[in-house]
Structure 1
Amino acid sequence: MCLINFHFQDHPIYRLIVAANRDEFYERPTAPAHFWEDQPHLLAGRDLSQHGTWLGITKNGRFAALTNYRDPSEQKKEIRSRGEIVTAFLDSDMTAAEFLKSLQLKRSEYAGFNVIAGTVDELFYYSNVENEVKEISAGTHGLCNHFLNTPWPKVIKGKMDLHRIVEQKRAIQPSELFGVLQHAEPFPDEQLPNTGVGKQLERILSPLFIKSEGYGTRSSTVLLIDHENTITFVERTYRDGIFMEERSFSFRIEN
């Protein structure tokens, strides 16, 4: 997952609104969103290479999503798959704060990552680069391949476009949030961050929706949880920038 726009609480209809894109190599084998056969309480897409996930939710309302932290100078060979972090939280009985504090103890076993974890009652953020567990405040937030709310152009635009929808204080159609995620125009060079990958690659990676040879946005996910605890989860999958499939799920949070 490479871009997560979300609005937490502070809305008359929804307790959590998420619009997120996963960017990955096109050849990496992936299963679309489904309730996993070996963990039937868990709804998520699945990386078939390491068997973890980048974003998911459970029938009892536990939610987590992860992005990689971009640092081309990092020479560390990944000991463990970062995708297992989301799965481990969703399969755990620990609170988000407890889980992330336990994750701190083994942070060196993973390459750089950011993770959001919690429920509609409380959300927390942790990066093993920054190494601080933080409670997320109500409002609109954005996370890409740096820290939470870092003002990269795609983060700023994603937050602004999401907030324009949220501030209308009405029911939201998933198609509106997918529209936020479809912006595929690179940003001007003078606005791009310098993350050490070179200007050409910074330009390719700058849009909310990435299309390039061999790599790009593989899936977009919209999640809505209302005040009646009804979950709406919709995923669209892509190949080479071409829409492939949409899957939609709706259910109530189980007590």
Structure 2
Amino acid sequence: MCILFSYCGDNDTQSDYQLIVAENRDEYYDRSALNMSLWKDSNVVAGRDLGAPDGDGTWLAVSPQRRKLGVLLNVPYNNRADAKSRGRLVTDYVQCDLSIEEYIKTKEDYVKETNQFVLVTYEFGNNTKVNTYTNSTNQLQTWENTCLGFSNSLPDKPLTKAVAGRRALSDICSRLNKVAQKQQLIEELLTLLKSKEPHLPDQELQNRTPMYQQFSSIFVTIPEGRYGTRTHTIVLLTKTGHLDIIEGSIQNPVDLENPNWKRTEFQFDL
């Protein structure tokens, strides 16, 4: 399970920000991964999921050069053991010069051989373009909402915690919309991503798993399954073109009694 929130400030004249993204990656604690870094062969900023078949995929990637961001959300239905890597879809997208519409056409055959997913994409030129594509329904959608929240369900059937987090993000971004407030903004976004408040009832989640209560919070922790939220990522893009990328990631080996969180930061002027 993962969760993603975003704010697009193109039409908010009071805000200094064009785009704000806050994301949690949930995964097995013992699945091998590398912290976010600058991939020198492609100028992409991303972590690496070493547990993927090719070890070259990720859950979130940013290309400052191409002004693209991609996030992969798992849709946990009918997983196949022989499926191709979904994480490659994120890195391939941000490294190419194609629009999302053109890119999806090139992947028509590939996505039939992966497990189900939602790919959320951002193209941040003069204005921000937000799209979702899911191979569950083969549907590409464009979103014009100021605040959005997506998790491990179809985009138009959000989990209750995604709706609650979206409302919380709207409040945060309405109060902390100046560059001078950046540190407080980051701290409140992290507080949102670390929230263990359950968001129930949620029939969509309850229909999916008997463990729905443990998955009903934004921050997930299931010690007995060695599974939970491993990484927080925050992306801040000002209207003047300054880009901050901040990752907080729990380090392996994961000791839940004394977790070691490492913070990594990148800055770019576009």
| TM-score greater than 0.5 by the shorter chain | yes
225, 247, 251: which one aligns with 2:264: 247
196, 199, 202: which one aligns with 2:212: 202
Q: Say if 2:83 and 2:113, in contact at 8 Å, map to a contact too.
A: yes
Alpha-carbon shift at residue 178 of structure 1 (Å)? 0.8
Q: 1:31 to 1:142 in 2, by over 3 A?
A: same
Aligned partners of 2:138, 2:177: CA distance in 1, in Å? 37
Q: Say if 1:19 and 1:181, in contact at 8 Å, map to a contact too.
A: yes
SS of corresponding position for 2:233? strand
Is 1:70 the counterpart of 2:76? The answer is yes
Is 1:97 the counterpart of 2:109? The answer is no
SS of corresponding position for 1:178? helix
Tell me what 1:136 maps to: 143
Q: 1:56 to 1:169 in 2, by over 3 A?
A: same
**Normalised TM-score (structure 1):** 0.90
Question: Which residue identity lines up with residue 155 of structure 1 in the other structure?
Answer: A
Structure 2: runs of 5+ lacking an equivalent: none
Question: Which residue identity lines up with residue 49 of structure 2 in the other structure?
Answer: D
Structure 1: runs of 5+ lacking an equivalent: none
Alpha-carbon shift at residue 64 of structure 1 (Å)? 0.5
Tell me what 1:170 maps to: 177
Is 1:23 the counterpart of 2:35? The answer is no
SS of corresponding position for 1:53? coil
Alpha-carbon shift at residue 107 of structure 1 (Å)? 2.1
Q: 1:218 to 1:224 in 2, by over 3 A?
A: same
Alpha-carbon shift at residue 31 of structure 1 (Å)? 0.7
Q: 1:123 to 1:139 in 2, by over 3 A?
A: same
Alpha-carbon shift at residue 218 of structure 1 (Å)? 0.6
Q: 1:76 to 1:123 in 2, by over 3 A?
A: same
What RMSD over aligned residues (CA atoms) do the two structures have, in Å? 1.9
Tell me what 1:118 maps to: 122
Q: 1:2 to 1:240 in 2, by over 3 A?
A: farther
Tell me what 2:59 maps to: 54
Aligned partners of 1:8, 1:105: CA distance in 2, in Å? 32
Aligned partners of 2:85, 2:31: CA distance in 1, in Å? 14
Alpha-carbon shift at residue 186 of structure 1 (Å)? 2.9
Alpha-carbon shift at residue 23 of structure 1 (Å)? 0.3
Question: Which residue identity lines up with residue 156 of structure 1 in the other structure?
Answer: V
Alpha-carbon shift at residue 153 of structure 1 (Å)? 2.1
Using the TM superposition, name which of 103-112 and 122-131 deviates more: 103-112
Is 1:156 the counterpart of 2:163? The answer is yes
Q: Say if 2:25 and 2:231, in contact at 8 Å, map to a contact too.
A: yes
Tell me what 1:109 maps to: 113
1:18-71 deviation line (CA, Å, top 9, x unaligned): 0100000001111111102433x1001111222211111012121111100022
Alpha-carbon shift at residue 196 of structure 1 (Å)? 2.7
Aligned partners of 1:78, 1:86: CA distance in 2, in Å? 19
Alpha-carbon shift at residue 77 of structure 1 (Å)? 3.1
Alpha-carbon shift at residue 112 of structure 1 (Å)? 0.3
**Normalised TM-score (structure 2):** 0.85
Alpha-carbon shift at residue 243 of structure 1 (Å)? 4.6
Tell me what 1:145 maps to: 152
Aligned partners of 1:183, 1:38: CA distance in 2, in Å? 36
1:68-111 deviation line (CA, Å, top 9, x unaligned): 0022xx15334211100001101111112211233334321110
Aligned partners of 2:17, 2:104: CA distance in 1, in Å? 25
Using the TM superposition, name which of 3-12 and 83-92 deviates more: 3-12
Q: Say if 1:64 and 1:116, in contact at 8 Å, map to a contact too.
A: yes
Q: 1:130 to 1:240 in 2, by over 3 A?
A: farther
Alpha-carbon shift at residue 116 of structure 1 (Å)? 1.1
